[in-house]
Chain A
Amino acid sequence: MVRALGWLAAASLAAGLVMAFGVAPREVTQGNVQRIMYVHVPLILASYLAFVVLAVASLVYLVRRDEGADRVAHASGEVGVMFVGLGIATGSIWGKPTWGTWWTWDARLTSVAILFVMYLGYLLLRGTIEDRERAARYCAVVGIVAALDIPLVHFSVYWWRTLHQPPSLMKPGGFTGSTSILWPLLINLLAFVLLYTYFVARRVSLLRAEAEAAA
């Protein structure tokens, strides 16, 4: 099952790559550099998914005290931090030739960076507590606080300053770009969501094995 998921993720990643380089048109002003979007946007969106799953799993853990929920939260946190980190890195690589800078304190860049450090702190907390049950409880609380903090971060940073192009997929009025861009983007999004799910499934079974070995 998990193995099949892995192959599915690999196949869709390959398809996404072909779409991004073969089907998607060359952007008029930015040129080929723009193709990094097909990795950058799915990475960030998949990391958002990871943090939503983390929040829900944290809540489920607090209500039902189900160790499985805690493992899902733990795995989601790790994959989410990795994805958002890679998203920031790909964004920098895209930003240098188009904006002329690796990094700028624009509203959306800043809020993603805050997300990154917030969940890095979450993983650090996990790493320092040996007792599994306590780590699960504390991290669930931090996971919920972090999730509720995201809207506050969003508004505060937005008011603080708002160079990033507006969102292209999820915006009022829906997607207005050409479908020649939309399909490669959607395939890549699917690929990264599958990759996320595969990583989480693998990590969860590893965490379960660790817990069983320790018991």
Chain B
Amino acid sequence: MSYARRALAVAWKDFAVERRSKETLNALVFFSLLLLFVFQFTLGGDRERLAAVLPGVLWLGFVLSALLALGRTFLVEREHDCWEGLLLAPGDKSAIYLGKLAGNLALMLVVEALVLGLFVVFFDIDLGRALPGLLVVVLLGTLGLAAVGTLFAAMTANVRARELLFPVLLLPVQVPVLLATVKATEALLLGEPLGAVAHWVKLLVAADVIYVVVSLLTFDVVLEG
């Protein structure tokens, strides 16, 4: 099997498991709905205040659901004792990483689309012209989160207190991605064009490239034994 086919096989396996069990997506969708309540209760009903913090809160929602989703990346294999099976995959192990990354990216984009939709309905945001630019920022930001998240999830899957360690490791590293996405989202929602936030977009692209490349190079080391 070629490298791409092997990566695809991993992604397809996870998709098939998820399609039949729906355990991750169902719970995540419910969780993001609950987040909406939490934000509403903690921030109060003041529309103006809400509008000012909306970009931050939106990304807080993305990050919280990402922490739950990404942290589970390798738990399917752990819980069902298939870890060795995954390790037996022939050839370069980074194909496993790519497959898992693709799966995580797809899962998170689905959840994020839903959260964004809920925000539009419940918090009355006018996406309007901001949507194309916002899609670029969300896509790049999610890739950054998922790239490091998938790598770290492979480590914390084998560690005690993994639910705690995963966010503790991931959040500090993701500060640049968070700052870039929140600042860019803020500007876009104020009606500025994507060109006005070009420096943030470039930073996100640089972050994505660095995270994906270093993960591909080091994933082999993480999976050993």
Residues of A within 8 A of B (CB): 62, 114, 117-118, 121-122, 124-125, 128-129, 133-134, 137-138, 140-142, 144-146, 148-149, 152-153, 155-157, 159-160
Contacts and interface: CB of A to CB of B under 8 A. Distances in A.
Nearest to B158: A134
Contacts of B84: none
B148 interface: yes
Contacts of B224: 137
B183 A160 contact: yes
Interface in B32-57: none
Contacts, number: 82
B77 to A, nearest CB: 17
Interface string B131-169: 000000000000000001001100100111100010011
B199 interface: yes
Interface-central residue, A117, A155, A157, by most chain B CB under 10 Å: A155
- Chain B contact residues (Cβ within 8 angstroms of A): what range? 20 to 34
A114 B152 CA distance: 18
A157 B175 CA distance: 9
B48 to A, nearest CB: 23
Interface of B: 148, 151-152, 155, 158-161, 165, 168-169, 171-173, 175-176, 179-180, 183, 199-200, 203, 206-207, 210-211, 214, 218, 221-222, 224-225
A160 to B, nearest CB: 5
A155 B203 contact: yes
Contact of B218 (A118, A125, A144, A152): A144
A145 B211 CA distance: 8
Given A121-B169, A156-B176, A145 B199 contact: no
B176 A155 contact: yes
A148 B210 contact: yes
A128 B161 contact: yes
Contacts of A144: 214, 218
A156 B151 contact: no
A75 B67 CA distance: 30
B173 A145 contact: yes
Contacts of A118: 172-173
A138 B207 CA distance: 21
Nearest to A155: B203
B159 A152 contact: no
